[in-house]
Amino acid sequence: MGKSDTMWKIKGIAASAGIAIGTIVHMQEAVHDFCRLVDASQAPAEKERFYTAQQAAEKELEILQERTAINMGEQQAEVFAAHKLMVTDPSFVEVVLNHIDNHQASAEAAVEDAANEIAAMFAGLDSEYMQERAADIKDIGKRLVRILQGGTAEVNYTGVLAAQDLLPSDTAALDLNYVSGFITALGGKTSHSSILARAAGIPAVVGVGSALEKLNNGDNVIVDGHVGEVLVNPEEDILNDYRLRIKKEQERAALLASVGHLPSETLDGHHIELACNIGTPGDMEKVIAAGAEGVGLFRTEFLFLDKTSVPTEEEQVESYKAVLAAMPDKKIVIRTLDAGGDKQLPFIGGLPEANPALGLRAIRLCMVYQDVFKTQLRALLRASVAGNLHIMFPMIATVDELLSAKALLNEAAKELTQEGIPYKSDVAVGIMVEVPAAAAIADILAEEVDFFSIGTNDLVQYTMAADRMNEHVAYLSDYFQPPVVRLIGNVAKAAQKAGKWVGMCGEMAGDPLATPLLVGLGLTELSMNGRAVPVVKHRIRQLDIKQTQKWADDILSLRTASDIKKRLEEIALQFEI
């Protein structure tokens, strides 16, 4: 048999575009050896072990959500917000406890059996979307069993990863320096692993079925994520053809990289500031590498979420200073604590809320727990000497809320003055516009702030009255919905009239399709994950400001989200990338 006879193809689903050439490495499933049955008298202890693992899983997912938001985007990170809800879902917990109480199951066996039962129920439904949620519940089960067994979450592979199914947390944990692509037997285009692969830029083919079993470790493969095809042991001329295609893709990437440190200016010289969203001081290296001009959103929750007590003022000062000092002459926008809702603080009690997204969260929580809030404000002011600090209050809905927050900031400043502790007295103060109420009175709020930053993720949710985690209303969760676009326009107009700058730190800011619209509406700062910076900058450098204003006026008159997207896609055709 000649070499040409040895090549064969696998057809699957094109889950994530791109081409990878490499050798197969099969994922090694963790094998946990645990006792499945325990004596009935041990049921209370097994329940306690389950509850402890549940809490540990929530913390892991909190961190994974934050990290994924930074590396892949807010929207992609929401899968782990959903996982947090699933870990504590009463119906899941009830099944676990039932296995412990009535089947003398160990905590590990109870979790595994409960996850398998619920996953099988999802897999049996008609909806493709619901079928793919089976992977999420399996992911939850694996995480809990691993924690119960004292295992770590590290995943280390080199090559093209082949797996029966790649769970969302597996995908988020892949080291892209070593994994060039992946192939799975199961999964679909809308599975969370596929969504995460696209966000991370990993070529992926999923749903190849039993063909996966024919792949051996060390097989040479081409993963064509554009068409959903895997070429196994390819001939040399085909390899050369794909190498040429990869070269062209790399040239495109190089083109984008080449604009990384060029000015973010339109053809007619208007500067649009591009910044990054970050979650920890350690993210500053990526900000600089991306060619960003600062930080448009530093989420401070990382300091609070995995703590059992309030982080000290000194601890906070050091973290804020580390970010400011990394780019001392650039604008650094630090958002005050945005906890509550789906981000509960272990050291703050309180009763469960029927609708936490509309409850005690962000600035509302901070104004209840003023001692926690004032400690953060003192830390921010003390850190201000290290750079160009901008303080941003989240979830402001009324003028009274804003004035109360500013009053507490002034109180913190007065204390520092009395104590002789240095700080900058001219720190800029702004708000995150993410509630329609704030957008509606933006002209009034503009009198009290130095800047606005629009958070589109929550602005869409609250404007459209659509839970962004509810797949049944997913069609409403679209930042191109006309009411959302009009609110963005209103905020930009109010800021311009008051002579204040207006930016955006939501998912929409990193979407190059939206860039001509946002520039045309008058936004002057866009903050996103680092991967999006070169693409958006390249788009900005091809724009003419007057033309974008005409496009924006035209788009504001359109009636549906699909009309707006279609118009923006027509506009995008004239750009190089």
Amino acid making up residue 196: L
CB 196 within 8 A of CB 172: yes
CB 8 within 8 A of CB 232: yes
Among residues 83, 276, 366, 505, which one is catalytic?
505
Amino acid making up residue 81: A
Name the DSSP class of 340.
B
H-type alpha helices, 264-307: 284-289, 302-305
In 3D space, the residue among 92, 143, 107, 142 whose CA is nearest the CA of residue 35 turns out to be: 107
> What is the CA 554 to chain-centroid distance, rounded?
31
CB 288 within 8 A of CB 277: no
CB 500 within 8 A of CB 450: yes
> What is the CA 119 to chain-centroid distance, rounded?
25
Our separate counts of H helices and E strands in the chain read: 23, 16
Among residues 192, 276, 366, 538, which one is catalytic?
192
233 Rama sector, left if φ>0, alpha if ψ -120 to 50, beta otherwise = left
Name the DSSP class of 525.
E
Q: Which residues contact 326 (CB under 8 A, 6 or more apart)?
A: 281, 284, 287, 288
Helix axes 399-419, 370-383, angle to 10 degrees: 60
Is-catalytic flag, 192?
yes
H-type alpha helices, 201-310: 236-258, 284-289, 302-305
CA distance 294 to 453: 14
**Sheet strands (E) in 157-282:** 159-163, 179-184, 204-206, 220-224, 229-232, 273-278
Go through the chain and tell me how many residues it has.
577
Is-catalytic flag, 270?
no
CA distance 116 to 109: 10
Q: What burial class does residue 309 get, using C-beta atoms within 10 Å of its C-beta: 0-12 exposed, 13-18 middle, 19+ buried?
A: exposed
As given in the structure block, the two tokens for residue 305 are 């979420």
CB 325 within 8 A of CB 364: no
At residue 460, what are phi and psi to the nearest 5 degrees?
-65, -45
CA distance 478 to 27: 36
CB 194 within 8 A of CB 18: no
CA distance 488 to 264: 21
CA 152, 283, 295, 520 torsion: positive or negative? Answer: negative
CB 200 within 8 A of CB 178: no
In 3D space, the residue among 184, 178, 163, 165 whose CA is nearest the CA of residue 10 turns out to be: 184
CA distance 372 to 187: 44
In 3D space, the residue among 461, 457, 483, 484 whose CA is nearest the CA of residue 473 turns out to be: 461
Which residues are known to be catalytic?
Answer: 192, 505
